[in-house]
Chains A and B, each alone.
Chain A
Amino acid sequence: MTGLRVQIAGSRGGIVRRATAILALLLSSVTAQASSSSASFGVSVTLFPPFKDIAACAESSAGTNVTVTCTTAAPPRSDPPRFMLELYREGNRLGTVDGETAPGTVTSWKVYRVADRDFLEIVVGW
C-alpha cells in the first residue's frame, strides 16, 4: 500500500514536472515571439514624355556671370519649344516647372528674391 502511494506520488510529480516544462516552453516562446508595427505609404510616379529635340548644353562662368550655350542638330520646330526647370532649395527638390515659350533665344536669366519669394526672370530675344 505504501509502495503504491509512492508510485502515485511519483506519477503526479512527473505530470507536474512535465506541465511545468511545457508551460516554461510556452512562456519562452511567447517571450521570444517578435512584435511588429506597420504603416503604408505611396510610391508616386510622374512620367514625362521624351523630349524630341535634344540639345547639348555647356556652361561656363566668369565671376558672377554664368553662360550656358546650347546647340541642337534638330531642325527648327513649328510649335513652341518647351522648357523644364527643376527647382531646389537647400538641397531639397521643390518640384518641376514645365512650360512653353515662343521660339527664340534666351539672352539672359536671373533669380532674385523679393521678401519671401524667389523669382526667375528669363529674357528671350527673337
Chain B
Amino acid sequence: MKRILLPLAAALALGAAATADAATAGPQNFNVKVTLTPTCSISQAPNDVVFTYTSFGGAATATGGDFKVKCTSGLTYTMGLDATSGTVIGLNYTLTLPAPVAGTGADQTYSIGGNMVAGQSGTCAGPGTCSGTDVRTLTITY
C-alpha cells in the first residue's frame, strides 16, 4: 500500500510545481510614467488699444486691446504690463488687465482696458486732429 501511495504523492507534487510555474508566467503589472511640462503662450498678440479724445472733453474709454492666451489645462499664470500708465501727445492714460483664470488647454480671450480722465488738454498744433502711438508689452508668467 505504501509503495503505491508514494509515487502518487510524488506525481501530485510535480503537478503542483507545474501549476506554480504557470502562475508566475501570467500577466505582470508595469507603470506608465508620463512627465508633462506645462506651458503658456500668447496665442494672439493684443491688437492696438485705441483712444479718441477731445481736448478738455469728457473721460474716454479705449477700444481694442483684445488678446488670447493658451495654457496647459489647470496651469495658473499671471499677466502683467511693462507699465500701466503712460502719456501720448500730452494725454495721460491708464491700462488695466483682467484677472486671469487657470489654463484650459484652449484659447482664452482677454481684453486690455484703457481709460483717460476728463479735462485733459493734450498737445496738438492743429488745426485738425493729432495722433500718436505708444508701445507697451504684455507678459504672462507661469
Taking CB atoms, residues of chain A closer than 8 Å to B141 are: 34-36
Specify which of A37, A38, A92 lies most central, judged by the most chain B CB atoms within 10 Å of its CB.
Answer: A37
Q: At the interface with chain B, which of A12-20, A45-53, A61-69?
A: A45-53
Specify which of A50, A96, A98 lies most central, judged by the most chain B CB atoms within 10 Å of its CB.
Answer: A50
A56 CB within 8 Å of chain B:
no
Q: A50-B54, A51-B54 are in contact. Are A40 and B127 (CB under 8 A)?
A: no
Contacting pair A43 B55 (CB below 8 A): no
Partner of A37, one of B42, B49, B134: B42
Taking CB atoms, residues of chain A closer than 8 Å to B74 are: none
A89 CB within 8 Å of chain B:
no
Contacting pair B131 A46 (CB below 8 A): yes
Could you tell me how many residues of chain A have their Cβ less than 8 Å away from some Cβ of chain B?
23
Return the CB mask of B7-32 against A: 1 if under 8 Å, else 0: 00000000000000000000000000
Q: A39-B46, A41-B46, A43-B95 are in contact. Are A48 and B54 (CB under 8 A)?
A: yes
Contacting pair B137 A39 (CB below 8 A): yes
Contacting pair A41 B48 (CB below 8 A): yes
Considering only CB atoms, which chain A residue lies closest to B64 in the complex? A44
The docked-state distance in angstroms from the alpha carbon of A40 to that of B48 is 9
A42 CB within 8 Å of chain B:
yes
Contacting pair B53 A43 (CB below 8 A): no
Interchain nearest-CB distance for B47 vs A (Å): 7
Interchain nearest-CB distance for A56 vs B (Å): 14
Return the CB mask of A22-44 against B: 1 if under 8 Å, else 0: 00000000000011111111111
The docked-state distance in angstroms from the alpha carbon of A36 to that of B138 is 10
Partner of A43, one of B90, B93, B130: B93
A sample of 19 cross-chain residue pairs with beta-carbon separation below 8 angstroms, ordered by A number, consists of A35-B40, A36-B140, A39-B45, A39-B137, A40-B45, A40-B136, A40-B137, A42-B136, A43-B48, A43-B133, A43-B135, A44-B51, A44-B131, A44-B132, A44-B133, A45-B88, A45-B131, A49-B127, A96-B52
The 8 lowest CB-CB distance pairs between A and B, nearest first, are A41-B46, A39-B45, A43-B134, A50-B55, A45-B88, A42-B48, A47-B122, A48-B54
